[in-house]
Amino acid sequence: MKRIRLRVAYDGTNYCGWQIQPNGITIEEVLNKAITKLTKVETAVIGASRTDSGVHALGNVAVFDTESTIPPERFSYALNQRLPEDIVVVASDEVPLDWHPRYQDVSKTYEYHVIHTRIPDPTRRLTNYFVSYPLDIETMRKAASYLEGTHDFVSFCNIRTNVEDTVRTVYSLEVLTKGDQITFRIRGNGFLYNMVRIIVGTLLRVGRGFYTPEQVKEILEAKNRKSAGVTAPPHGLMLMEIEYKDSETSASQSGENKGRK
């Protein structure tokens, strides 16, 4: 028996998120069917990040156990022949049998993509959130700085979040611009349910002038979801990279091996 790790990229537009559920097709379900068809053995993957419906990824991670004689690095090629065009296994390798994609010392990087124009761009509508109203970029950057570090982010998570510990560390939160594109790039040791999208929704309200940057600090300290902004739509969100600190490889958009996740 061996454990195979997959780095998976996908366009989440047509899927009800990562995790298998009864109300629609999911990324996990499609992967399980492809692996089962390839190995002729019923197989279920374990995923690192359970992205929501409509959310995209360039670097999600999953593992599965198999007795197949296919070389670990060849699973990516074999599976891509059996997967739809909107799901791609970017790389595959072997890890120890006790290696778990969620129970590791990790950092995750998400990006939220916004098109900031007067008229929508239909060619980018599936992976970007269209915003036409004026935004103050520098004010959003100042507000974002209050969210960096280790905090209780209960104000920035969905009220249905079923976790006891809502403390997370945000290593960096950048507001980047290039042409009509605004990118909110956040890197942390983990994220609560809807946390990134609520942060983005709140920062956009700062950019519009509804909140001051200092009020974002107050929202954080309030520990009350009702004090924060609306949840930004899912289609602008993309899981870019997962780095494993105790591993020689990472799962990222680059496709290259490097230290930690």
The CATH 3.30.70.660 domain(s) of the chain lie at 106-239
User: What pLDDT, on a 0 to 100 scale, did the predictor assign at position 247?
Assistant: 57
pTM of the model: 0.92
Helices then strands (H, E): number in the chain?
5, 11
Whether 210 has a pLDDT exceeding 60, the answer reads yes
pLDDT tens for 49-96 read 999 999 999 999 999 999 999 999 999 999 999 999 999 999 999 999
User: Beta-carbon neighbour count of residue 104 at 10 Å?
Assistant: 17
CA angle at residue 242 from 240 to 244, to 5 degrees?
Answer: 160
Buried b / exposed e over 12-46, threshold 16 CB at 10 Å, is beebbbbebeeeeebbbbbbbebbeebbeeebebb
pLDDT tens for 118-163 read 999 999 999 999 999 999 999 999 999 999 999 999 999 998 777 8
User: What pLDDT, on a 0 to 100 scale, did the predictor assign at position 253?
Assistant: 40
- What is the percent of the chain with per-residue pLDDT over 70, rounded to a whole number? 94
Alpha carbon distances (Å) from 122 to 49, 115, 125, 128: 29, 11, 5, 10
List residues bridging with 60 in a β-sheet. 8
Whether 261 has a pLDDT exceeding 60, the answer reads no
pLDDT tens for 14-51 read 999 999 998 899 999 999 999 999 999 999 999 999 99
E strands in 141-210: 149-152, 167-178, 181-188
Whether 259 has a pLDDT exceeding 50, the answer reads no
**Looking at domain 2-104, which of 3.30.70.580, 3.40.50.360, 1.10.1520.10, 2.40.37.10 is its CATH number?**
3.30.70.580
Render 51-69 in DSSP notation, one character per residue. PPTT-EEEEEEEEEEE---
Residue 63 and residue 4 in contact, taking contact as beta carbons nearer than 8 Å: yes
Instruction: Please choose, from the candidates 60, 64, 93, the residue with its C-alpha nearest in 3D space to the C-alpha of residue 76.
Output: 93
Whether 211 has a pLDDT exceeding 70, the answer reads yes
Whether 8 has a pLDDT exceeding 80, the answer reads yes
Active site residues: 52
The CATH 3.30.70.580 domain(s) of the chain lie at 2-104
110 annotated as belonging to a binding site for a ligand: yes
Whether 246 has a pLDDT exceeding 70, the answer reads no
pLDDT tens for 152-163 read 999 999 987 778
List residues bridging with 178 in a β-sheet. 181
**What's the topology of domain 106-239?**
Alpha-Beta Plaits (3.30.70)
Q: How far apart are CA 261 and CA 252, in angstroms?
A: 9
